[in-house]
Amino acid sequence: MSEIYDLIIIGAGPAGISAAIYASRARLHTLWLEKKFAQGGQVVNTYEVDNYPGIPEISGMELGEAMASHADKLGMCPVKENVLSVEDEGKIKIVRTKKNAYQSRTVILALGAEHRTLGIPGEEELSGMGVSYCATCDGAFYKDAAAAVVGGGNTAVEDALFLSRICRKVYLIHRREELRADRILQERLNACGNVGILWNTVPVAVEGQDEVTGLKIRNVKTEEEQLLPVDGVFIAVGVVPNTEKLKELMDTDENGYIIAGEDCVTTAPGLFAAGDLRTKPLRQVVTAVADGACAVISAQRYLLQNS
């Protein structure tokens, strides 16, 4: 365990890839770790990305690969190892994997977040083929179609409002008879002519073969089941940041997100949070890559001040 890196980057989603590109150009002695074979993070699951400036109509997989290939050209390729823990020993941080314990002066945490899933039949099979976890990413594909949004929080109501401007009909499926979303959003929703709210209702199964043709739902009070004919199912039942192993190291908010601003500086000196796992108003590829860059600049500044 003698080698000491300037920087360890954990994660190879857009934030981690961007951090690797900036670290290479900054000539930092960097180790990059990613647990999965594929780089690109959550974006690789998106059928088409049409909101990344300069690259219209690219598939999420292609965008992830293009980013990874850019990093590769700069000599940056992640080592495939699953990080088990990060230990903060002051000026030295120890990143443990199953096989190794690495030392570094700084660490960029870019482990991302995962959308909470429902675990119902058809959900996984039709993911990217009508089942989506991101209305702003995929909503444009449902012009004049019928869509269902599952959830009762701010994200679900914002998604329903967003889709109401694109779709012919939107159904909001909520398991209780009261929304969790902010009042102002509820008022906007109520003013929407083409959104129907199905209270006390849970999704049971997503129907379809290669594309979504309907959502089977059940009223939890009457136990009555029905098939809703929809082309898209948007699941907005919360996201879970990948911070379980990191919470002891720094401040997180009530939802588990690492508290950090635009500079990605956390409450633990030398540890930086980039991408979807930090507190921020918009979680998309475009904000994740900005974080990767900002986190490297902050790490460089920290290294200068603590050398």
Question: Active-site residue numbers?
Answer: 134, 137-138
Minimum CB distance to ligand NAP smaller for 104 or for 252: 252
Question: Which one, 73 or 176, has the nearer CB to ligand NAP?
Answer: 176
- Residue written as tokens 């950090």? 260
275: left (phi over 0), alpha (psi -120 to 50) or beta: left
If one asks whether residue 218 binds ligand NAP (CB under 6 A), the answer comes out as no
Q: Which stretch binds ligand NAP (CB under 6 A): 84-92, 104-112, 153-161, 261-269?
A: 153-161
Q: Is residue 196 involved in binding ligand NAP (CB under 6 A)?
A: no
Whose Cβ is closer to ligand NAP: residue 110's or residue 179's?
A: 179
Residue type, 40: G
Tell me: does residue 180 bind ligand NAP (CB under 6 A): yes
Of 59, 103, 154, 219, which one interacts with ligand NAP (CB under 6 A)?
Answer: 154
Interactions with ligand NAP, residue window 127-146 (CB under 6 A): none
Residue 103 contacts residue 187 (beta carbons within 8 Å): no
Binding flags for ligand NAP, 27-46, as an x/- string (CB under 6 A):
--------------------
- Greatest Cα pair distance, the chain, in angstroms, is 67
Q: In the block, which residue shows the tokens 């290669």?
A: 210
Tokens 């109509």 identify what position?
A: 57
Residues in contact with ligand NAP, shown as a per-residue x/- string from 53 to 92 under the rule CB under 6 A: ----------------------------------------
User: What are the C-alpha distances in Å from 88 to residues 96, 106, 264, 269?
Assistant: 11, 10, 17, 9
Considering only 64, 78, 151, 270, the residue that binds ligand NAP (CB under 6 A) is 151
The residues near 65 (Cβ < 8 Å, ≥ 6 apart) are 39, 40
Near ligand NAP by CB under 6 A: residue from 237, 240, 297, 303? 237
Q: Judged by CB under 6 A, which of 6, 158, 231, 276 binds ligand NAP?
A: 158
CB of 271 to ligand NAP, least distance (A): 23
What's the Cα-to-Cα distance from 29 to each of 16, 155, 298, rounded to whole Å?
15, 40, 15
Q: How far is the CB of 155 from ligand NAP (least distance, A)?
A: 3
How far is it, in rounded angstroms, from Cα 214 to Cα 205? Answer: 9
Shortest reach from residue 101's CB to ligand NAP, in Å:
35
Q: Can you name the residues that pair with 240 across neighbouring β-strands? A: 114
| DSSP track, 252-281 | B-TTS-B---TT-B-SSTTEEE-STTB--S
Q: Which amino acid is at 101?
A: A
Size (the chain), residues: 307
Chain residues binding ligand NAP by CB under 6 A are: 118, 150-156, 158, 175-176, 180, 202, 236-239, 255
